[in-house]
Amino acid sequence: MVTANQFDYVIAGGGLQGSLLAFAISRLQPSAQVLLVEKQSQFCGNHTWSFHRSDLSDTTWEWFSELVDRQWDGYHVELGGVTRHIPIGYGSIFSDRLNQKLQTLRDNSDNLTTLSGSVRQLEERSLSLDTGERINGTAVLDCRGLRQGNSSMPRSGFQKFVGLEVELEEDWIADTPCLMDDRVEQTDGFRFIYTLPLTARRLLVEDTRFSNSRALNRDACREVISRYLKERGFANYRVVREETGCLPMPYQRGSLPSQMSVGYRGGFFHPATGYSIPLVANLANQIASSAAADAAMVIAEYRNRMRFQTTFSLWLNRLLFQLVTPTQRLQIFRRFYSKLPAETIQRFYALQFTATDAARIFLGRPPMGLTPLRFLQSFREKPCPAFPT
């Protein structure tokens, strides 16, 4: 139950998008009244969210940097027996720390109100809770994340992973993240290990696959991680946290989101990488930099600006998940990281690539057997081809 009934911003869902919006508004419009409604007992879930520094505009960075827990000057990839250092800044946010920061903000200001409850319905200027309570807002933003069990879900491949945060007995071998290391058995699609050295002895290590199926055997993933660490001389470690995800990588547009849907539900995620921060942080910045009454217009303009990049990314996913075999999938990533300049890679991750970048990303791919007829056939309604794994 909230005592006030009218807010400038009412935010449904306190995950990544909702939390960043609440934080950005508190920094950029300190007098605006914000209500954040979340159905879980704490905001933000259980994640480590990473991003490229170049994903964020300078004005976004002014407030976003307060939330960043860890930063590196660059990272590396290990693909096809070749190591490449990529000099693009990389960073991470820990969801439990973001949750704490929001609580501090709420406790120390009169402008942020939080409510634990489940939103039943949103309308243009109000929302109602499962309890029947109705709350009004000038801007009512839907940040309720991925719609579960939605039958109209677009056709999609999946980026799925299990990540273990481990405490090692000795210092880890690298002080920069490794975004992809393909020195693991290639089963269930393209598979790689991701490592994030949070401190010298604290490591987030993930077994990740770009697969046509959602199914994920967590025990098998833990086993692969254990072998990977052991082969590098780290047989002994203590698991302090585990996270798991299955992010859709669609190759077809979903139904049009409602005007005030943002975050994942509103299509604000990178279809070809699964990263959301490039979009949700910059969108939060733009909404928070405008009047609440203009939020719908700001969202529509942002969506229009990324139309070309989104369409091309969906097309890339079609190529990855419908038109090439898992072996060729691996070659696509090897080529991406061995041939493309760092500037193209950075614009690609930020979903700000140009038509020239798109041509560069595509030209020279190994589309064996990718005839125009095969491409057209891929649009027909049929399930993903079952490639041997």
**Binding footprint of ligand FAD on the chain (CB under 6 A):** 12-18, 37-40, 45, 47, 49-51, 118-119, 143-145, 243-245, 247, 263-265, 269, 274-277, 280
Q: How many Cβ atoms from other residues are within 10 Å of residue 32's Cβ?
A: 18
Residue 181: CB minimum distance to ligand FAD, A = 17
Q: What tokens appear for 253 in the block?
A: 């547009």
**Which C-beta is closer to ligand FAD: that of 349 or that of 378?**
349
Shortest spacing between CB 268 and ligand FAD, in angstroms: 7
Which residue, 335, 332, 304, is CA-closest to 82? 335
3-state secondary structure at position 227: helix
Q: Residue 92 Cβ, how far from ligand FAD at the closest point, in Å? A: 7
Shortest distance, position 199 Cβ to ligand FAD, whole Å: 18
Residue 318: φ, ψ to 5°: -60, -45
Residue nearest to ligand FAD (CB): 15
Alpha-carbon distance of 350 to 26, in angstroms, equals 25
Distance of alpha carbon 142 from alpha carbon 133, whole angstroms? 17
Beta carbon nearer to ligand FAD, 247 or 323: 247
| 252 Cβ neighbours under 8 A, 6+ residues apart | 154, 155, 156, 314, 318
- If the CB atoms of residues 249 and 280 are measured against ligand FAD, the closer one turns out to be 280
What residue type is assigned to position 174 of the chain?
A: A
Q: Which is nearer to ligand FAD, 242 or 387 (CB)?
A: 242
Measured between alpha carbons, how far is 13 from 143 in angstroms, rounded to an integer? Answer: 5
Cβ closer to ligand FAD: 244 or 252? Answer: 244
Q: Which is nearer to ligand FAD, 48 or 212 (CB)?
A: 48
CB of 18 vs ligand FAD, minimal distance in Å: 6
Residues constituting the chain:
389
CB of 50 to ligand FAD, least distance (A): 4
Beta bridge partners of 93: 49
With respect to ligand FAD, which residue has the nearer C-beta, 48 or 322? 48
Residues 309 and 351: their CA atoms lie apart, in Å, by: 6
Beta bridge partners of 90: 52, 72
Nearest approach in angstroms of CB 42 to ligand FAD is 9
